[in-house]
Structure 1
Amino acid sequence: MVAGLEDLRALCGRDGDHRRGWAFVRAMTEAYGYPLADGDGVDEAVLRSTEDRLGVPLPAALREAYLLFGNRRDLTATQDWLVPPQSLEVGAGGVLVFRRENQNCAVWGVPENALGQDDPPAVLDAGDGWVPYTDRLSVALVEMVMSEAMFSGYEDHVDNRELDGATLAALEAGFEPLPLPVLPFWAGMEGPGVRWLSGPDVLLRDDGGEWLWVHGRTPEAVQAVRDRLPGDWLMVPDD
């Protein structure tokens, strides 16, 4: 059972409540060894100053994310990075950029005309212009935390490998899809997207049917995935 799964389902449902997303983040980070604590969020005064500078309120979902975990680099800036409030800007394309790929190969944002919504859509630009990313910003932010927590995971709690047809079929047969939508894969926009799956004490991310990441609550859980999906895993511990 995935920690906080019912909250994730509620977030991703038709009438999703972004506050259920934060409940999932709390449960997931606790289960995987990165519990949230007081002081992990950005100070309210910083957000007010940012809103004064921009001339518009931030969407509630983005505000709440900053207040809850905005100072936790292990959850927001291990691989790609959540833009600090002080650096938020509406660009020439009329989009407020809230996240950047670590080499600026892709950026995530919210259209300026949607900033008045509590949980507006998020969009992605991987070099060819803005395209839809998620129907709700909160879903993009929750997925961000899942990815960044995985990349910051203890060495023996994570692994990754290339996917081939046989392994992809075994992955689909042996693991359960999470209720997150399939997201555009910025490094392969023309192909399959990014999807998340789960197994006993593990979360798995399939990047476009090309690469697989696994994040386990324990080293044993990661090894169980290796055993079930044998192949050239990159983080196999030395004997």
Structure 2
Amino acid sequence: MTLDLPRDLPAALTDRTAAWRLIADLAAFWNAPLQPGDGRTDAELDAAETRLGLRLPAALREAHLLIGNRPDLTSNHDTLLPPEELHVERDHLVYRVENQGCAYWGVPLAALDQDDPPTAVWPDAADPETTPWTARLSVELLAVVLTEPLLDQEAYTDAGEVDPADLTDWTALPQLYEPGVDTHLFARPDALLVVQGGSWTAMRAVSGEVLDELCEQLPVSWLNY
């Protein structure tokens, strides 16, 4: 399957139906198309609402109904929490946790009346300050599916340090995150790459041959997953 992220991503940043469609396209691009049973059930999500005593945003429900049982798309490094583990912390509905519990992503409780509310992130600290993460929850959930598969050590992936100036054969994708979040995505027809913190990168290719070629082209000390 071909994937044209420079063409399709802009619409997905403003229309969550387009975001879910792009998530399905990404799964197929990695040769792991969505199947019946890949999502959680309405009953599980209803039970979470009853337990929490609050309404889940429509975007969160829709994403869990679509990919709630697909950790290969959502939870290779950090974890998209299942409905039974959603919880409230610091006036936010926590939906995602860093792999060592060092950071949390959540939706402000004051924004739960919105179908597609903004998101925030904060560190595991005694008195953390929350940082705006994405303007829309659907954008964050799409960002999860864009980045987490790049960390699947069973796939054609690698990681290392890169100078973004060396990514001359890659197309910079529109920014998904709020200002101040130093995470950027780059695409090719046969691969996807994320750069965080100015240099750390994770990359996934469609085949071992493509991965080897890209690793040889880029001046990076690859970790060789």
- Is this a same-fold pair by TM over 0.5? yes
- Give the aligned partner of residue 225 of structure 1: 214
- Cα distance change, pair 114–182 in 1 and its aligned pair in 2 (3 A): closer
Of residues 26-35 and 226-235 in structure 1, the stretch that sits farther from structure 2 once superposed is 226-235
String of CA shifts for 1:151-193, please: whole Å, max 9, x gaps. 22534x1111123xxx33112x331111242468xxxx8xx70
* Amino acid aligned to 1:87: E
The answer to whether the Cα contact below 8 Å between 1:139 and 1:180 also exists between their aligned partners in 2 is no
- 2:195 aligned to which of 206, 214, 239: 206
String of CA shifts for 1:23-42, please: whole Å, max 9, x gaps. 01100110112211000111
Secondary structure of residue in 1 paired with 2:88: coil
User: Is 1:152 aligned to 2:152, yes or no?
Assistant: yes
State the TM-score, normalized to the length of structure 2.
Answer: 0.90
Instruction: Show structure 2 runs of 5+ residues with no match.
Output: none
Q: CA RMSD in A?
A: 2.0
User: Is 1:107 aligned to 2:104, yes or no?
Assistant: yes
Instruction: Show structure 1 runs of 5+ residues with no match.
Output: none
The answer to whether the Cα contact below 8 Å between 2:150 and 2:193 also exists between their aligned partners in 1 is no
String of CA shifts for 1:103-161, please: whole Å, max 9, x gaps. 11110000001011110000000243211000001111111122222222534x11111
User: Is 1:135 aligned to 2:130, yes or no?
Assistant: no
Q: Aligned pairs, how many?
A: 221
CA distance in structure 2 between the partners assigned to 1:66 and 1:5 by the alignment:
26
Secondary structure of residue in 1 paired with 2:87: coil
Measure how far apart 1:59 and its partner are. Answer: 0.7
User: Is 1:50 aligned to 2:45, yes or no?
Assistant: no
CA distance in structure 2 between the partners assigned to 1:223 and 1:140 by the alignment:
30
- Give the aligned partner of residue 178 of structure 1: 173
The answer to whether the Cα contact below 8 Å between 1:7 and 1:21 also exists between their aligned partners in 2 is no
* Amino acid aligned to 2:123: A
Secondary structure of residue in 1 paired with 2:149: helix
CA distance in structure 2 between the partners assigned to 1:212 and 1:84 by the alignment:
27
Measure how far apart 1:101 and its partner are. Answer: 0.3
* Amino acid aligned to 2:3: V
* Amino acid aligned to 2:214: V
- Percent identity over the alignment? 38
